[in-house]
């Protein structure tokens, strides 16, 4: 390696380490103070803890009922992500490939939702009307609905047939390619598009 | 056309559309209707009052215009910083730098942290006796120490700084994903034509990264205009109303019981976002639509 290349490499390492350290310092601060006593942690300093309080963690897990709440979070995350990916990729598949006037309109109608402010009181009334209030399913469906606009926008951006980079990997010819016409649309979208978007 | 119809059937749209219309569009439209009423906590009846709420927002004796200005300023500044930094980091870490996986993980880490924890931690770092001032004193820069969340223009820049600290990793990840899909051939071809770093960057990387730019810009813009958590946790809109943005003031209005004005503000926000978003998507998709 020439001297210039070495110097450049050194500069890169210095820069990236500076960034990483800036990111790490506050994170380490949280970690270090999480094992201090209440009084010591109040100052949030890098002083070494005088007494290691690993019991803090046990207390948080018990008092915060973390096991139960983590289970609930996991449930909503799984439901909304799985359902969201299925319905949004199906919609984006059609919207990006069959660009009729109506589909363009539907695309903009859905993507407009990224900017829409949901009114929570009206939302509660709708959910009561649909008998979805206070049910796990209802909340799961709600979280799915809330991510529809952005997911459709993102997946469409990834699968539009064009000369851009991501698109190149998912050419629409793949969908039209042999066999596809004899497959059902479900299998076609599963086989041709989804692997390319992963 | 028939094959098109068979390959891409309309019922594929149903799932997303039904969920979206019932749990998203209807509640939002109802909210926009509420913005034309005098709905409040103090009166059970709800009367239609036309544009009254909007007149309140734009009247000179209220500070709402300042909040709108703050929101726009925050959006532009944080978007630009995050995009530039995110792209620079992605370019650095896309190459064969040693330890790049470690750095990628570290830089992404803050985006999974909750806003509450980020805010509380930085509050303690930025206070007069906090870590930042202590570090400045340690290297002899006493003159730079200050109360970062109270003095002059610094509260705004502190909040922006915290936000960039937290959000850059996510943007970097999107750019990294975009960079990995650019085929090496383009760079080789450019190199044969004698292009150096800048020309390769301008004529290969940037054009082929346009879809990533579209995604990050929309993401940053929507986030910036809707920013709430990070400001509420660190400054609560203060000192005074210096860092107040639209969503913090909407939150306060709802807390005081002025639902009508609150929904009017969020409807106004919707209009701003829809117009900006339309032009941004149009602009950035020009290449893509071709």
Phi-psi map region of B84: left, alpha, beta (phi>0 left; psi -120 to 50 alpha):
alpha
End-to-end C-alpha distance for chain A, whole angstroms: 37
- Cβ atoms of B246 and B100 within 8 Å: the answer is no
CB A19 within 8 A of CB B107: yes
CB contact under 8 A, B19 and A93: no
Residues with Cβ within 8 Å of B44's Cβ and at least 6 positions away in sequence, in order, are none
Alpha carbon distance A32, A30 (integer Å): 6
Please name which of A96, A110, A107 lies closest in space to residue A192, comparing C-alpha atoms. Answer: A96
Beta-carbon-side half-sphere exposure of residue B78 (alpha carbons within 13 Å): 32
Q: What is the pLDDT of residue B81?
A: 95
Mean pLDDT of A126-150: 87
Percentage of chain B modeled with pLDDT above 90: 13
Q: In this predicted complex, what is the ipTM?
A: 0.76
Cα–Cα distance, A118 to A140 (Å, whole number) = 16
A164 closest CB neighbour out of B99, B267, B287:
B287
Inter-chain CB proximity A157 and B214 less than 8 Å: yes
Is the bond into B239 cis (omega within 30 degrees of 0)?
Answer: yes
pLDDT at position B1 is 53
Q: Is the pLDDT of residue A127 over 50?
A: yes
Residue of chain B whose alpha carbon sits nearest to that of A160: B288
First to last CA, chain B: 20
Q: How confident is the model at residue B269 (pLDDT cuts 50, 70, 90)?
A: confident
Beta carbons of B229 and B74 less than 8 angstroms apart: no
Q: What is the mean pLDDT of residues A85-93?
A: 87
Cβ-defined contact of B273 to A114 (cutoff 8 Å): yes
Q: What is the C-alpha separation between B253 and B247, in angstroms, rounded?
A: 10
The span from the CA of B99 to the CA of B93, in Å, is 9
Q: What is the pLDDT of residue B85?
A: 94
Q: Structure tokens of B19? A: 């969920």
Confidence of residue B84 (pLDDT cuts 50, 70, 90): very high
The model's confidence at residue B14, banded by pLDDT at 50, 70 and 90, is confident
- pLDDT-derived band at B80 (thresholds 50, 70, 90) equals very high
Res. B78 pLDDT band, cuts 50 70 90: very high
Helix (H) or strand (E) holding A112: none
Residues in A touching B12 (Cβ below 8 Å):
90-91, 93-94, 185, 189
Contacts of A73 in chain B (CB under 8 A): none
Q: Which one is predicted more confidently, B140 or A139?
A: A139
Mutation target for B interface from A100, A115, A147: give the one with most B CBs within 10 A: A115
């Amino acid at each position: 390696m020439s001297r210039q290349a070495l110097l450049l490499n050194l500069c890169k390492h210095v820069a990236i380490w500076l960034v990483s350290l800036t990111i790490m310092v506050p994170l380490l601060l949280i970690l270090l103070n999480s094992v201090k006593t209440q009084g010591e942690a109040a100052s949030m300093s890098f002083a070494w803890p005088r007494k290691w309080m690993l019991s803090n963690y046990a207390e948080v897990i018990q008092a915060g009922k973390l096991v139960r709440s983590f289970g609930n979070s996991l449930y909503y995350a799984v439901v909304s992500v799985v359902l969201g990916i299925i319905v949004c990729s199906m919609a984006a598949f059609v919207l990006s490939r069959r660009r009729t006037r109506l589909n363009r309109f539907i695309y903009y109608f859905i993507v407009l939702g990224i900017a829409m402010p949901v009114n929570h009181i009206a939302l509660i009334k709708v959910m009561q009307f649909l008998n979805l209030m206070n049910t796990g399913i209802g909340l799961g469906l709600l979280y799915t609905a809330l991510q529809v606009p952005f997911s459709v926008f993102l997946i469409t951006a990834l699968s539009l047939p064009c000369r851009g980079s991501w698109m190149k990997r998912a050419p629409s010819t793949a969908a039209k390619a042999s066999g596809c016409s004899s497959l059902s649309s479900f299998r076609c979208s599963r086989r041709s598009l989804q692997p390319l978007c992963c | 056309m028939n094959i098109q119809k068979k390959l891409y059937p309309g019922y594929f749209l149903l799932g997303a559309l039904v969920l979206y219309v019932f749990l998203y569009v209807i509640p939002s439209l109802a909210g926009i209707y509420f913005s034309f009423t005098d709905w409040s906590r103090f009166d059970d009846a709800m009367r239609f009052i036309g544009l009254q709420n909007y007149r309140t927002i734009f009247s000179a004796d209220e500070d709402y215009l300042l909040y709108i200005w703050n929101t726009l300023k925050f959006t532009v500044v944080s978007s630009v910083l995050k995009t530039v930094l995110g792209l620079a980091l992605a370019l650095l870490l896309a190459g064969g730098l040693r330890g790049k996986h470690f750095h990628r993980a570290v830089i992404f880490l803050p985006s999974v942290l909750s806003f509450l924890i980020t805010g509380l931690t930085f509050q303690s770092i930025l206070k007069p006796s906090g870590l930042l001032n202590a570090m400045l004193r340690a290297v002899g820069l006493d003159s730079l120490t200050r109360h970062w969340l109270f003095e002059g223009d610094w509260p705004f820049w502190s909040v922006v700084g915290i936000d960039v600290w937290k959000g850059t990793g996510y943007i970097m990840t999107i750019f990294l994903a975009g960079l990995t899909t650019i085929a090496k051939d383009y760079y080789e071809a450019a190199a044969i034509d004698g292009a150096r770093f800048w020309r390769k960057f301008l004529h290969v990387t940037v054009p082929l990264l346009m879809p990533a730019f579209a995604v990050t810009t929309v993401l940053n813009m929507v986030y910036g205009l809707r920013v709430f958590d990070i400001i509420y946790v660190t400054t609560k809109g203060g000192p005074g109303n210096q860092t107040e943005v639209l969503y913090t003031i909407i939150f306060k209005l709802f807390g005081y019981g002025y639902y009508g004005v609150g929904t009017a503000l969020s409807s106004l926000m919707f209009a701003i976002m829809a117009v900006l978003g339309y032009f941004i998507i149009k602009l950035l998709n020009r290449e893509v639509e071709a």
